Structures are given as C-alpha cells and as structure tokens.
Chain A
Amino acid sequence: MIQKKVCMVGAFATGKTSLVARFVKGIYSDKYQTTIGVKIDKKLIEAQGQTVKMMLWDIHGEDEFQNVRMSYLRGSAAYLLVVDGTRRASLETALNLKARVAASIGDIPFILVINKYDLASEWEIAEADMAALEESGIELIKTSAKTDLAVEDCFLRLATKLVQPL
C-alpha cells in the first residue's frame, strides 16, 4: 500500500470540503462552512490493482482576504483544482492558482473539477469554454457533491494518475 498527499485547491465556496465529505463520509450538507487553514481526511482507494491511502488536505479557499499558502501544497503528489460552475470568476482564480502551484512545487498531476452540476442551469461556464480547456490538455470533470455526481470518479481518476508511474 502506498500513501499519497492530495490537495483540494480552488477559490472560496467552490465545494472543496463538500467533495471531500461526500467522498470520505458519503454525506452532504447545504450549510456553508468556510475552511480556515486546512482540514485533513484520509481515504483508502483501489486503483490499478493497488491500494492507495489518500491523505486529503482540504485547503482553505482563495479569496480577496487570504491567498492559499503554497507551503500546504509542499510534498503533494497531485491535486484537485475545484471550480464553482455558477461563478466564472472561480475558474479564473483556479487557473491562477494552477500557475502558482506549478511555480512553487512543480508540475504535478491535477484534475480540474467543475462542481455544482446540480445547478447546471445557472452555470456561467459554457461548454465551449470547457472544450477549449480540455483541448489545452487539462483533464476536466463535472461533479456535484450534492447529488453525488462523479465525486468518487474524480478521486479515482486522480488516484490512477498517482499509481501510473509505478
């Protein structure tokens, strides 16, 4: 069994904590609770016939008051870049964060997670935008922590990226 540190990165209120809660504990709450600092959870996951112990670092969201501390990402094997589909600004924040991560800890695998698909009608990110992102080589997945859409899938895909080099 191998262990990997995986971070949840994104703008504030994009659903990072909800995704982790849904994935680890299978629960969802509509109540918004802002994360201060970092919350840590773990989950064992099977990928490519290997068991991976994922240590999930749910890092506080980036907002106008506080920047994500890159020191929390140090040693991370991969990360989920979480975007709120209903807020276009959160995508820009995410891409900005992606650049900062690459600059401070290098190119590590990540998946762009566009969350809140249960509110698809209110989405501000068009299909064309997503297609363009995918074309640029970014792996993208649409999820809903509320309806449990593709939550496990996104973590599983990330785990697959982690065991591939072995």
Chain B
Amino acid sequence: MANSQTSSTDSPANRRALNVNEPNINELDVNEPNINDQSAKAPNADIGSLETADLETLRQLILGDAIAQTLNSSLQAEAVSRVLPGAIAQASYQENELTRALMPTIEKAIKESVRIDEKILAEVMFPIIGPATRKSIGAAIDGLLQSLNQTLEYSVSAKSLSWRWEAFRTGKTFAEVVMLRTLVFQVEQVLLIHKETGLLLLQRVNENVKSQDPDLVSAMLTAIKDFVQDSFSVEAGDSLEALALGDLNIWIEEGPHAVLACVVRGRAPAGLRTLLRGSQEKIQRLFGEPLENFAGDPAVLKSSAPYLDDCLHFRFEGQPVDEEKRVPLSKGRKTFLWAIAVIIATAIGIRTFLNYQVQQNWNTYLTDLEQQPGLVVISQHKQGQYVLSGLRDPLAVDPVERLAIAHLQPEQVKMSWRPYWSLAPELADKRMQALLSLVSSERENLEVWRSRIESRRLQFQPAKAVPVGHDLDLLIRQADDIAVLAKQASAVGEAIEITVQAYGDRRGTQFSTADLGLARASYVKRVLVSRGISATTIKAKHLAFQKEDLADLRGSAVFKVKFTR
C-alpha cells in the first residue's frame, strides 16, 4: 500500500506539471538567448557597474523605449522566477496567507481546465479515485460478510455441516468455505486491448485452454462494445462491463486508453473485479503515455505482463490451489481430531455389536416359530425392521407373545399372518375339544329356552276358551319361541315334546270346568300348530284344579317341555 502511494505521487500529475512549465522556458530562450547564458552574464554585470549610465544611454539610443521596457519586464520575470520557489517555500512555513491568496487562482485554473477538457483532470484523478472508493466499499463489504457469517452459523443442513467440518479442518471461516464451494471458476485468458483501435496489446492464456485468435477476439470485443454503446442510450462514460454465455463470462474493465478483458469459466467472485480494476489502474499509471501515443507496436506494453498474470492466476482467497498450501493442523487440533475419530470408531463398534445381537435374537425367534404347531413362516427379510409373513392356525400360539422369548420387541417386527387349519395332532385334539365344548354349551342354551318357555303362563277370561289382548300376543310369542327351541334342539340331535296344561275356571261344575280346560288347551295347541310346530310333538291336557294348588292358577294355561332323543 505504502509503495503504491509513493509511486502514484511521482507519476502523471508531476510529469504534466513539468510539461506545462517547459513551453515558458522555451519562449524565454527564443526571445532573449543571452539572458539564459550564465557565462555571458557575468562580464555584463561588471561592465554595468563601471559604466551604467553610458550603457543605459547606448541602450536607449539603439533599442528605443518600448523594447527596453520589454527587456526590463522579461528581466524582472526571470529574476522573480528564480526567487519564487524559495519565496513560496518560506511562505508556507508562516501563516496561511499564501494559501489563501493562491486559492481563488487555483480554483479558477481547475475550473477552467475542466471546462476546456475534462479528460485531463479525469486522467489525473483516475488512479486515485479507484483505491479510495475501494477502501471505503471494502470496509462496508467486510461488515456485510461478517453478518453473512453469523447468519450462516445458524443454518444447519447436511451440506452446511460438511462445510462446517471443512472450515474446522482447514482453519478457514465458515463463510469462506461457503463462498469457496459455491464459486468454482477458472480465469482462462486475459487480454489487454487498445481502447481506440481495438488492437491487441498483450494476451496471457492459461496453459490448458484452447483460445481463438486473440487479435480477432480483441477486435470483435471492441466492435461489440461499440455496438452496445451506440445502440442503447447509455450514460456518457458507461461501458459494457461483462458478457455472459452459459458459464463463460467475459469481464471487461475499461480505462482511459486500454481495455482489460478477462475470460472466466464459472462463477467468479467479486474479488476478481477488484483485481481487474487494480491492474487496469496500475497499467494506466505506468503505461499511460505509451498507451496514449500507441502507433501499432504492442512491444511497448510487453512489461505490463505481470499485471495480466495476476488476473490470470487469480483464485478466491483460500481456494485450495495445491495440497501443500493447506493450513497445517496445530497440535491441539490434532488431538481433538483423534478424540473425535476414537468416539466415532467406538460408536460404530457398539452399533455393529448391537446389530449382531438383534440378528441372533431374530434367528432364535425364527427357530422357535418353526417348532410351533400351526405356524408356518413363508417369507422373512429385514427392511429397517424385520418383516415376516406366514400361515397361522387360529389355535396356534400367539407369535407376538413368542417375541419375548427371543428378547425382541413387538415394534422390531412387522408380521402378517393368513389363517389356515393345521393337521398337526396337537391342534386336531384341541379342535375336537373345542367342538365338544361347543356342543355342551348348545345344550345349556336349550335349557335356557326351556325355562323361559315353562315360566310363561297364559290367563283366560272366565268361561272363555280363547285368550284375548295381551294374552293372545303372549301365546303367539310363546309359539315362536317353541319353534326356535325345536329347531335348536334338532340341531344337536334332540326332539322336544310340549305339554299344554290348561285349567278350568273356579266356578262351575267339575265337568264343565274340565271341558273348559280341555277346550283352552286344544285352542293353544291349534295356535302352536298354526305357527309351524309339529302337532305330534304337542300334548293338550286339562288339569283338574287341586286344593293345594295356588288359587291363581285357575283360568290359566302352562307349558312343559321335554327333550327326547
């Protein structure tokens, strides 16, 4: 930085100042050759001191007043010019009076210079403005990068974890690694082109890149630039800065007299633009004059090659160029890496052992299932969890329960069983017993029906043989229940016999009550037959009322059920 500042002060501005002074000296030389001649002046002074009055007279006689005055003023100007630098230097040690006195003149001079030709001052300023602007923008971007870094710190994904690991391994910041991994590029060639003619001044190409004729490329690039600038209304001073074609990019940096074009494959970081600009400025500073007076001989720009090479070999800061350029690991870091490696290895070991154990348990489980009657494993495989399918007799053991024997958890196995009947002797016995128990339960069922039927009692109106209202409904329900019972009994190989016992009324003669009871029983039988019960299974009886019988049995009918084989 210090170097570049030093070199910037001794170049174009100073040179220009010298050039400005030169014509004045020349003018003096032409008008008054003797004045500049030191050897001629000394004897004159001697003579002057001796015969000043005579010489003055002579001068007036020969030259006349006007010429003498001109000579005098020239002599004075010359004398002032000798003391002026010293006087200014001295004045600058004192108060700011000289500065104040000169300020309006200098301001006017600058204004006038810009008015006449703004380019001159622009060219002088060009090498200074770039670095100054970059410095302030650089500071802003640093801040931005820092906040980007923080943002990235919080994002977690597989990729970011691997980048984080890389950052840790290589000792770079995370943001750097992210930039590095997302910016893959190569600078293929760099061209220095004369701005006005489009002629190629210098080309540097990467070894493994096949390039087109650089002369034609330079000219065409200039033509394209001109075309774009002409075709679209752009601000004065704006120019084409980049061309993009797929992943091929041409970055153009324009100076006052030269154009630096950089052919890049991939996505280059903004740092390359900064470098390009810097190189452009350096080239302008060092080769400004040959560029301005370029007459077609590119040899004058040969020594600008290092600046082009800088661009050609540009890499993103921290991009791994060679293995040996990687940051060596510190001792502490190495120990840490070893510790992590050991932890990972242990974790893998434990995991493998556990997997092995689970597999052993699974094999045990399969062997156990094979020994169980009524279970047939058809297929089994492992897909995250174990998957098993097969046939299962409903009487076989529950395969889920068997998991516990093999130390497996139900969630470790996904099973699907299809039902079937096994002919294994153990199961056949079981099945037989089950059937037998079913039969006995059927019989119990019949008893339930019987007791229900026998518990019902029909009540007749006095002197009536036909029940009415509720009792008629009851009779029909009774008939239906008896029909169900008959059907169920026949299913287990039984037959039923129904006895209808009807009573006469309390009043009446012994015979008349017997007739009424019989009539009532007959009516009930008829109803039962009409509801589908075989007449042969029904006996209709009249029961004479005995004294010990409950009084309310009078005028009613009851049913008795008997099972016969």
Using a CB–CB cutoff of 8 Å, the interface residues on chain A facing chain B are 1-5, 37-38, 40-42, 52-53, 55, 57, 69, 71-72, 74-77, 162, 166
Contacts and interface: CB of A to CB of B under 8 A. Distances in A.
Contacts of A52: 296
Contacts of B296: 2-4, 52, 77, 162
Given A38-B227, A75-B199, A162-B296, 13 more contacts: A2-B296, A4-B197, A5-B197, A40-B219, A42-B213, A55-B199, A57-B223, A72-B223, A74-B226, A75-B197, A76-B197, A77-B197, A77-B296
For chain B, give the interface size range: 20 to 34
Contacts of A74: 196-197, 226
B119 to A, nearest CB: 15
A42 B226 contact: no
Nearest to A37: B227
Nearest to A53: B215
A71 B230 contact: yes
A162 B200 CA distance: 18
Of listed A3, A5, A55, A72, residue having the most chain B CB within 10 A: A3
B297 interface: yes
Given A2-B296, A55-B198, A77-B197, A42 B229 contact: no
B179 to A, nearest CB: 38
Interface string B53-81: 00000000000000000000000000000
Nearest to B297: A2
B199 A5 contact: yes
A74 B295 CA distance: 14
A38 B216 contact: no
A75 B230 contact: no
B298 interface: yes
B223 A3 contact: no
Nearest to B218: A55
Given A2-B296, A3-B298, A75 B223 contact: no
A95 to B, nearest CB: 24
B220 interface: yes
A37 B197 contact: no
7 contacts: A37-B227, A55-B199, A57-B219, A69-B230, A74-B197, A75-B196, A77-B197
B198 A75 contact: yes
B19 to A, nearest CB: 23
A55 B222 CA distance: 12
Nearest to A162: B296
A3 to B, nearest CB: 5
Interface in B185-220: 194-200, 213, 215-216, 219-220
Of listed A5, A41, A69, residue having the most chain B CB within 10 A: A5
Nearest to A2: B296
A71 B229 CA distance: 9
A93 to B, nearest CB: 20
Interface in B219-269: 219-220, 223, 226-227, 229-230
A53 B198 CA distance: 13
Contact of B226 (A69, A77, A166): A69
Contact of A37 (B216, B223, B297, B298): B223
A37 B226 CA distance: 11
A22 to B, nearest CB: 18
Contact of B216 (A2, A41, A76, A166): A41
B322 to A, nearest CB: 38
B217 to A, nearest CB: 9
A46 to B, nearest CB: 15
A139 to B, nearest CB: 21
B223 A55 contact: no
Contacts of B216: 40-42, 55
Nearest to B224: A37
A68 B311 CA distance: 36
Contact of B295 (A2, A40, A57): A2
Contact of A42 (B197, B215, B227, B298): B215
Contacts of B220: 40
Contacts of A162: 296
Contact of A40 (B194, B196, B223, B229): B223
A41 B217 CA distance: 10
A62 to B, nearest CB: 15
Contacts of B213: 42
A41 B195 CA distance: 18
B199 A38 contact: no
Contacts of A166: 295
Nearest to B226: A71
B178 to A, nearest CB: 42
A37 B227 CA distance: 8
A1 B197 CA distance: 16
A121 to B, nearest CB: 38
A77 B229 CA distance: 22
Contacts of B223: 37-38, 40, 57, 72
Given A2-B296, A42-B213, A55-B198, A72 B219 contact: no
A52 B229 CA distance: 29
Given A40-B219, A40-B220, A53-B215, A5 B198 contact: yes
Contacts of A69: 226-227, 230
A37 B199 CA distance: 18
Contacts of A41: 216
Contacts of B219: 5, 40, 42, 55, 57
A72 B229 CA distance: 11
Contacts of A42: 213, 215-216, 219
Contacts of A1: 297
Nearest to A74: B196
B226 A3 contact: no
Contacts of A2: 295-297
Contacts of B227: 37-38, 69
Of listed B194, B196, B226, residue having the most chain A CB within 10 A: B226
A37 B219 CA distance: 13
A40 B220 CA distance: 7
Nearest to B196: A75
B447 to A, nearest CB: 112
B320 to A, nearest CB: 40
